[in-house]
Each structure stands twice: as C-alpha cells, then as structure tokens.
Amino acid sequence: MQTRLAGWWAPDREASREKRGADEILNAESQLDTQSPRIRSWYFDKEHSPSKSRIQQYRRRDVPRRIHILGTGSVGKLVAHSLRGIPNPPPITLLFHRRDLLKKWRREGEQIKLTTHKITESRNGYDVEVAAAQRRTHGTEVPLQELYGEETYPGLRPHEIAALNSTTAPTSQDISEPSLNPEEEDDTSDETIHNVVVTVKAASTVSALSAIRHRLTRGSTIIFLQNGMGILEEVNREVFPDIETRPNYMLGIISHGVNSTSSFSVVHAGFGTIALGLVPRYAARQLTNPAEPMTESWAPTSRYLLRTLTRTPVLAAVGFAPTELLQAQLEKLAVNAIVNPLTVMLDARNGSILYNFALSRVMRLLLSEISLVIRSLPELRGLPNVNTRFAPDRLETLVVGVAHRTRDNISSMLADVRKGKQTEIEYITGYVVKRGEEMGIKCVMNYMMLQMVIGKQNLINREEQEDVPVVGTGKSVVRSK
Ligand SMILES: CC(C)(CO)C(=O)C(=O)O
C-alpha cells in the first residue's frame, strides 16, 4: 500500500518548528494570496507573526514566481500548458535549445496547443529564451566555436550549419527559415533562474543544464520530470559537484500519456498523475553516516513549486516523502525495464507483450534480476515491506497492468528508436545492470537486453546515414549497396 503523504510539507506543520528562518517567513509571505484563511490568520497571529518591519523587509524579497521549462517535448508542453491555465498563473519562460526553434515559435503564433478528447485548446502568454545545450564529447564540454567553426550558430548541428551555408539548402522544416543573426533579437538571458522544470530526455540532461548552470543558485529549485534513474548522480558529478552550493532538487514521476504532434502541439492521451518529492541534499551522506541529521527543511523555491504544481488540476500532482518517492521510482523503473525494451525488439505496441507465454518467460527472467537488485539496494535497507513490494510476481502484476492499460500506446523508447533518436535504455536497463554490478549481482539477461536495444539504435542510425537526400526534390532515397 502506498502511503500518501500529501500535506506533510504544509506550512502549518512547519509552524511547529521552534526556529523559523527568514526564508520561511519570506515563503509564507509569498503564499498568502493562495493560502487558506486558517493559515493566513496563523501568520498574523500575535504570537507567531514576525514584526511588521520584518514582513516588509521580506516582502521585498518575495519568492520569484517565474517558472522556467527546460525541454519542450511532450511533457514540457503539457506542464507549460497546464500551468498557464490555473487562476493567477505564474509567468512561464520556455527555454529552447536551438535558435531555429525560436523562429518556428514566432512563425507558429507563439502558442502551445493541447488536445484532450479531440478538443484543442491553445494557450499563449509565454516568454521564451534560447539556452543552447552544451555539446559534450567523451565527457568534456566542447566550445561551440570549436564544434561548429562559427560562434554565431549556437545550438545548430554541424550538418545543419553546412546546410545553411550552402546555396542548395535542405528542405527540413526545422531549418527552413533559420534566424542566424544574433543581432536580430536578444533571445538569451543571464538572469537568475529560481524555479525550473527539466523535461528533456535523460541523456540530454547534463548538456541542457550546463547551458543554464551559471543562472542557477543554492536557492534555486530544479524539478526533474523524466524517465529513468541515475540522472541526478550524473548531474551532480558533471554540473554541480559542490554539494553545498548546488541548487535544490525535486523529482517527479509522471504517468500521464502525452504525444507530441508537432513542435508546439501535444495530445493528452492518457490522464495520469505526478508524484512529487524533495531529493534530500545530504541523502548519500545519511546512507553512509547514520548520525547525519535526517530532517531537511524545504527551500522556499521548492515549496513554491510544490504548491504551484499541486494546485494545477490537469497535472494531478501530489507530494510524497522521499523514501516513498524512491520506491515509486523503482516500481516505474521495473515496468519501463520490461515494456520499453521488449516493445523495441518486437517493434510493436505495449499490448503486444501480453497473452504470449514465450514473452512471459522473457519477462520473468528479466524481472527475477530486477527484483533481486532492487531488494538489495542499500538505500532501501530498513524500510518495511520492501521484499513483498518488489517481489518478482508483484512486479509482474505491475508490468501486466501497465501494458494492459497502455496496450494501444507506442512506448517512448520504441518511438525514439523509430525516429532514430537516442533512447533512455542506459538510464533504465543500464541503471539496473550498473547497480547490480556495484552489489556483485550479475544481470546477464538485462545486460543482453541493454545491448540489443543499443544494437537496434545503431542499426537505425546507420540506415539513416545511408539515407541520401536528393537535392531539389525535397525527398530522399536510400541508396542500395
Ligand atoms: C509506461 C510506459 C511504457 C507507457 O508507454 C512508459 O512509461 C513509456 O512509454 O515510457
């Protein structure tokens, strides 16, 4: 049974703490317009309320309401669209990783369209900026001018630049009318980002965050809304190595079904939820040093984001305690480690893995390894019910349930493979294999699955490279060998 802990973070609970820092008062102040009268009166209660001059002092330094969205894929669009629909919506800035996307945004009316049950609603009023993702090769950031030979083309890939420079330009939609003159419009910013929702794919997270690293502070909060695990460890290592100065992190596990139909249009095909929680800054230390204090207070920006997302009905977001969130994440990991690679190998919809005894056997072999790895994780040690919750047959029930509910969907991994995009396999199956290795558990079945998906990705990439564009026709042909 999942213990829903919605409300455990609520400010009135915080009130019981003896010592409240300036930040907490500041946050309370910022929330007054959305608080219930009970909470409102508490803050102005004689005994508890800070002096008037302190209130005024903190009011000036209110928690900034602007929310940046890094990644305008299907989840990014859903979040941006939903947030603009709430009463007194926060200002939203969409961060584009390529300048040509900005041009496209302008051309397409500066709006996001969300279709639910065949009804499309457009929303506008967004601010936009370009935050060109940093390219990395062999784990090192590559300066843009080194990579592209031209400083003025940040965010474009070498072949796109070559195409733009050539007189016989390609016909690709994305680069058909690029804005390459940086003088044309100042579309970048160096202002501090206080609240950011990261929705880019797991493998792009480090490079996307590197582009805005200088704008994030110890007081900022990043919410990661992504598939897979092991991303935060990578971000800590590559982007924010200093534990004391890194921003605050929150995690969200999203179960909404959303499909992009174009750069700024999305279909909300399946209603789900977002399980949200704080990632404790010192969690790793607590693991190795039990004397480390377990209580961590929420940063004002984290609480602001939690409040804002949980008051957005379409998102159905709920706050969870960190240990519960971790277990929910592992359940999703187990489901994704079965449905996603199997649907890639079968090139079929999620429902295809059901009612097929041969595939059930494959599923069970994979799940026996996944279950053992999860049940052996040191971070779950001491938590009640872990063995039952992550037993192979319980995980199988979860997988079958999700495959059945989403039987007509194409898994996100299959969609990526079909488009020749990098998949999240290394953050799903790869994570299971890696954690298994750390604990001396060999996951041979999952290792094979990992290699099969990577192999298929390579195959498709190679086919794409052999796809020779025929200049002038707007079509392409695959040259036979
Ligand atoms: C649950 C599932 C498999 C639904 O398609 C999914 O999360 C995904 O496609 O990534």
Q: Which of 267, 271, 339 to mutate to test the pocket of ligand 1 (most atoms within 8 A of CB)?
A: 339
Residues 461, 420: contact at Cβ < 8 Å?
A: yes
Neighbours of 52 (CB within 10 A): 8
pLDDT in tens, 56-67: 443 435 789 999
What confidence tier does 151 reach under pLDDT thresholds 50, 70, 90?
very low
**CATH homologous superfamily for the domain 322-466:** N-(1-d-carboxylethyl)-l-norvaline Dehydrogenase; domain 2 (1.10.1040.10)
Is the pTM higher than 0.80?
Answer: no
Residue 83 sits at φ, ψ, to 5 deg, of -65, -35
Q: How far is CA 57 from the centre of its chain?
A: 35
Counting Cα atoms < 13 Å in the Cβ hemisphere of 370 gives 30
The pLDDT of residue 469 is 61
Contact status, residue 75 vs residue 314, Cβ threshold 8 Å: no
Does position 2 have pLDDT exceeding 70, yes or no? no
- Identify the H or E element spanning 29: helix 22-31
| Pocket of ligand 1 contains residue 254 by CB under 6 Å | no
| pLDDT at 294 (0 to 100) | 59
Query: Does residue 75's CB lie within 6 angstroms of at least one atom of ligand 1?
Result: no
For residue 265 and ligand 1, the question of a CB distance below 6 A is answered with: no
| 444-465 vs 429-438: helix crossing angle, rounded to 10 | 140
Q: What are the tens digits of pLDDT across the range 201-238?
A: 999 999 999 999 999 999 999 999 999 999 999 999 99
Say if the ipTM goes beyond 0.85: yes
Query: Six-digit token pair at 187?
Result: 């579309």
For residue 473, the CA-to-ligand 1 centroid distance in Å is 37
In terms of DSSP bridges, do strands 248-254 and 274-279 run parallel, antiparallel, or are they unpaired? antiparallel
Ligand 1 atom, smallest distance to 414 CA:
9
| 226 Cα to the center of ligand 1, angstroms | 11
* pLDDT at residue 134 in the model: 66
* Rounded distance between C-alpha atoms, residue 100 and residue 176, angstroms: 9
Kindly tell me if the per-residue pLDDT of 148 is higher than 50.
Answer: no
Q: Is 336 in the pocket of ligand 1 (CB under 6 A)?
A: yes
Confidence check: pLDDT of 124 > 90: yes
Ligand 1: residue whose CA is nearest its atom 6: 411
Q: What pLDDT sits at residue 117?
A: 94
Ranges for all domains in the chain classified under CATH 3.40.50.720:
67-137+187-283+298-319
Residue nearest to atom 10 of ligand 1 (CA): 412
Q: CA–CA separation, 333 vs 426, rounded Å?
A: 12
CA atoms within 13 A on the CB side of 127: 13
Question: Mean pLDDT of all residues in the chain?
Answer: 80
Mean pLDDT score, 1-9: 31
- pLDDT over 60 at 53, yes or no: no
CA distances from 377 to 264, 373, 383, 391, 441 (A): 40, 6, 11, 14, 11
CATH 1.10.1040.10 in the chain: give the residue spans: 322-466
State whether the beta carbon of 202 lies less than 6 angstroms from ligand 1. no
Tell me how far the alpha carbon of residue 326 lies from the centroid of ligand 1, in angstroms: 18
Q: What is the pLDDT of residues 300-355, one digit of tens each?
A: 999 999 999 999 999 999 999 999 999 999 999 999 999 999 999 999 999 999 99
| Ligand 1 centroid, distance to 262 Cα (angstroms) | 20
Q: How far apart are CA 32 and CA 44, in angstroms?
A: 11
CATH node for 67-137+187-283+298-319: 3.40.50.720
Q: Which residues lie closer than 8 Å to 223 by C-beta, 6 or more apart? A: 195, 196, 197, 198, 249, 250, 251, 252, 276, 305, 309
Compute the half-sphere exposure of residue 164: CA atoms within 13 Å on the CB side of its CA: 20
Ligand 1 in contact with 412 (CB < 6 A)? yes
Residue with the bigger pLDDT between 9 and 297: it is: 297
What pLDDT, on the 0 to 100 scale, is given for residue 283? Answer: 73
Residue 345 Cα to ligand 1 middle (Å)? 15
Strand, coil or helix: 34: helix
Under 8 Å between Cβ of 39 and 11: yes
- Number of helices (H), then strands (E), belonging to the chain: the values are 19, 16
CA 77 to chain centre: 12
Per residue in 236-266, pLDDT (tens digit) is 999 999 999 999 999 999 999 898 999 999 9
User: How do strand 92-96 and strand 216-225 relate by DSSP bridges?
Assistant: unpaired
Say yes or no to pLDDT of 156 above 70.
no
Nearest atom in ligand 1 to the alpha carbon of residue 415 is: 9
- DSSP class of residue 467? E
Q: Which two tokens stand for residue 18?
A: 């003896």
Q: What ligand 1 atom has the least distance to the C-alpha of 255?
A: 7
